[in-house]
Every structure is written in C-alpha cells, then in structure tokens.
C-alpha cells in the first residue's frame, strides 16, 4: 500500500511511517511530496494521505496523527501507548505532556537539518523509533545510575545543592497564586483545568508539579488551606453565622465547613470563635 504526506518530515510524519511499516503494513511505500500536491498525488498514485488537513489520518482536537493511527488500527501494545504522548508532546510543541518530548523534538529537528533527502531521513528515523520502542518495551524502569551509592549521592546533591528558598519560581506559579487568591476572595468555584487554561499551561503538568511550589500541598489541600485561613479571619473579625461563613469560604454547607475546620484546627469553629473572644476580653482588662 502507498502512503503519502508532506515533504520535510520531523515528528508525526516520521513516527507514523515507522508505525505503519512496523505494525500495520511492512511492505508500505511512504511518499513525500510538497504540501499543495498531497491530495492530487494521492489520487494519482492510489496512496492514502496522512498528516494533512481534511483527510482521515490527521490531527483531532489535542491528538496528533500518531494517536489516530493507534486508535484506527486498534494498536494496544503498551509500549506504543507509552510512545504516543512523547510523539504528541514533541509534535504539538507541548513538552509538558511527556519528559521525553523535548528530547525527541531536538533529535528530530537536528536530523532533518542534517539530512536533506526525505527517504534517507526516514531511514535514519526508523532506527531512532526502533530504539524508542525498545526503551518503552523493556527499559522504562532502568535508571542510568545503577549504583545505590551513586543514587544516594545524587539525591543529596539535588536536595541541597540549590536551596528551595533561592529557586526562581516560574511565571505561571506567580500568576496561578494570584488567580487562586482572586477566586477565593470572590467565592467563585475553583477548577484546576480552567485555571490552567487561563495560564496556557497544560493541566496535567500543573497538577503534577503543583506541590513543588505550593507548600508541598496538592491543589485540593492548598485550596482548603486558603479557605480555612479566610474562615479564621471572618470568625475573628465579623459576626457572621457559621452557615454564612461556610458559604463565603466556598464550603458546601455548615457541617462540611465544621468538619474540615476541626480537622485542620483541632477544634470546632464555634469553639475557636469563643476562645478568641475570651482572649480579647482578657487582654482588654
């Protein structure tokens, strides 16, 4: 079977031919032509077009053509499923999807820069994707540093070489803190996905790295901490009822508020308020 796509391939247009030849059609012929000739040449050469707009084998939503090949041909091999987000991250320039995406993009871009003939480029890429498949199939759990002593020394180095207090925070962390505080103050619902979209940062990446920048707390834990902090301010400085405070701090109801408050502060909110009022009275005497 003939398969045809745009010339000068880098990621999807190398990963897909590798997938075709290794798992779908070993005798496949891959054809590269200028972008504006793909559809016409596909009809002339009786070839299946891929990775161009308006054809079946192409991008869908946030998925790339490699993803569609896996879905279409029901390729459930766990190694291929591990490779898919790497290819997707490299092809969509969203390297937060997989740690290996940046490396795959760098190697692919360098390969395309060095090799001008597309068929020769594909030949070399086949070796790269064979290696990536072997890693995904057999070596994902293998670490470069095998010695326990080496691993311990590296862990100590990573922990102490750069003090956390001096670590420069990414811009998105500062912006996320502001967004969270704004929504806490206005009693809006908080969604990590929506906040991530506002920052133009991948939600999975934000979720995975959130604790690193937010007091070693998950997103949910951090939000609860801020809500309890706001509740304390209201208990100490207003005459709002517990039901009103529960509403103003985003809890579902008073019982939910009381339960979380007691878990956090080791006392009920009503007892906390009474103790604070007694303390103020004693101080003023």
SS3 60: strand
Where along the chain do its domains lie?
2-139, 171-284
Summarize the confidence of residues 70-89 as an average pLDDT: 95
Question: Chain-wide mean pLDDT for the chain?
Answer: 85
Instruction: Report which listed range, 32-36, 219-223, 255-259, is most confident.
Output: 32-36
Q: What band does 54 get if pLDDT is binned at 50, 70 and 90?
A: very high
C-alpha distances (whole Å) from 76 to each of 16, 71, 82, 104 are 15, 8, 10, 22
The rounded distance, in Å, linking the Cα atoms of 86 and 95 is: 8
Q: How large is the angle between the packed helices 118-134 and 78-91, nearest 10 degrees?
A: 130
- Comparing 210 with 31, the larger pLDDT belongs to 31
Nearest 5 degrees, angle CA 53-CA 59-CA 63? 165
Do residues 258 and 242 touch, judged by C-beta distance below 8 A? yes
Half-sphere exposure of 145 (CA within 13 A, CB side): 9
Summarize the confidence of residues 46-61 as an average pLDDT: 94
* Top-tier CATH class for 171-284: mainly alpha
The rounded distance, in Å, linking the Cα atoms of 148 and 145 is: 8
Residue ranges of E strands in the chain: 2-6, 29-33, 47-49
Reading the block at residue 170, the tokens are 């990414």
When mean pLDDT is compared across 21-35, 95-109, 147-161, 205-219, the lowest value belongs to 147-161
Summarize the confidence of residues 10-30 as an average pLDDT: 96
The per-residue pLDDT for 6 is: 96
Q: What band does 132 get if pLDDT is binned at 50, 70 and 90?
A: very high
Q: Of the candidates 164, 251, 179, 258, which has an alpha carbon nearest to the alpha carbon of residue 213?
A: 164
The rounded distance, in Å, linking the Cα atoms of 100 and 89 is: 9
Q: What band does 150 get if pLDDT is binned at 50, 70 and 90?
A: low
Largest Cα span, the chain:
97
The rounded distance, in Å, linking the Cα atoms of 252 and 249 is: 9
The rounded distance, in Å, linking the Cα atoms of 31 and 45 is: 9
The string of pLDDT tens digits covering residues 109-124 is 999 999 999 999 999 9
The rounded distance, in Å, linking the Cα atoms of 151 and 50 is: 44
Reading the block at residue 121, the tokens are 């480029």
The per-residue pLDDT for 122 is: 97
The rounded distance, in Å, linking the Cα atoms of 166 and 176 is: 19
The rounded distance, in Å, linking the Cα atoms of 185 and 46 is: 62
Q: Is residue 107's pLDDT more than 80? A: yes
Reading the block at residue 64, the tokens are 């790339």
Nearest 5 degrees, angle CA 82-CA 57-CA 122? 65
Do residues 108 and 11 touch, judged by C-beta distance below 8 A? yes
The string of pLDDT tens digits covering residues 192-239 is 777 777 777 777 777 788 888 888 888 778 888 888 988 899 898 888
- Token pair 């912006």: residue: 175
Q: What band does 179 get if pLDDT is binned at 50, 70 and 90?
A: low
The per-residue pLDDT for 102 is: 92
The per-residue pLDDT for 9 is: 95
């Amino acid at each position: 079977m003939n398969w045809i796509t745009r010339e000068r391939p880098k990621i999807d247009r190398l990963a897909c031919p590798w997938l075709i030849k290794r798992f779908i059609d070993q005798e496949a012929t891959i054809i590269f032509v200028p972008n504006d000739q793909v559809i016409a040449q596909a009809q002339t050469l009786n070839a299946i077009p891929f990775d161009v707009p308006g054809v079946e084998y192409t991008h869908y939503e946030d998925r790339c053509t490699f993803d569609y090949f896996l879905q279409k041909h029901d390729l459930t091999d766990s190694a291929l499923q591990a490779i898919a987000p790497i290819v997707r991250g490299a092809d969509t320039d969203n390297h937060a999807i997989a740690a290996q995406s940046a490396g795959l993009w760098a190697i692919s871009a360098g390969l395309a820069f060095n090799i001008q003939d597309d068929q020769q480029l594909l030949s070399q890429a086949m070796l790269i994707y064979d290696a990536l498949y072997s890693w995904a199939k057999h070596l994902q759990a293998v670490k470069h540093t095998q010695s326990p002593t080496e691993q311990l020394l590296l862990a100590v180095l990573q922990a102490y070489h750069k003090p956390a207090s001096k670590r420069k925070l990414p811009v998105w962390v500062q912006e996320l803190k502001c967004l969270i505080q704004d929504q806490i103050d206005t009693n809006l619902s908080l969604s990590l996905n929506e906040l991530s979209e506002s920052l133009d940062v991948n939600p999975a990446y934000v979720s995975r790295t959130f604790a690193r920048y937010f007091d070693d707390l998950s997103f949910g834990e951090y939000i609860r901490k801020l809500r309890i902090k706001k509740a304390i301010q209201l208990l100490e400085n207003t005459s709002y009822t517990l039901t009103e405070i529960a509403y103003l701090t985003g809890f579902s109801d008073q019982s939910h508020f009381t339960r979380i408050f007691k878990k956090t502060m080791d006392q009920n909110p009503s007892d906390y308020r009474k103790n604070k009022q007694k303390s103020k009275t004693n101080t003023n005497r």
